[in-house]
Amino acid sequence: EAGVTQFPSHSVIEKGQTVTLRCDPISGHDNLYWYRRVMGKEIKFLLHFVKESKQDESGMPNNRFLAERTGGTYSTLKVQPAELEDSGVYFCASSQRRDPTDTQYFGPGTRLTVL
């Protein structure tokens, strides 16, 4: 079974540019999550999709971040315009059930560097 995949693995952009990150969850997983780890700090939750619907987007830092999951399969996270403080590692995770006991499986992450 293929795991969660993310693209690209690394992205280096200049302040003010736009970047789009992609996540492909494990096949059959309705729940998809985005997290990020900034400047070596804690990994923090951004948002949660159930299929194509946003279930919880309480962690989204501001309106420069836009997440979509059209069709309920893969998801994209767009940062527009990027700022220096957006640099970090963005992780995607998926799980089968919307259940606090269910394991979330993480992808390898996208390392974003904003210059």
Q: Which residues bind another protein (CB under 8 A)?
A: 4, 6, 33, 35, 41-45, 48, 55-56, 58-59, 91, 93, 98-101, 103-109
Q: Least distance from C-beta 48 to another protein, angstroms?
A: 4
Q: Least distance from C-beta 15 to another protein, angstroms?
A: 26
Residue type, 78: K
Are residues 36 and 90 in contact, defined by beta-carbon separation less than 8 angstroms?
yes
- Complex with another protein: residue 33 or 65, whichever CB lies closer: 33
Sort 37 into a burial class: Cβ within 10 Å, 0-12 / 13-18 / 19+.
middle
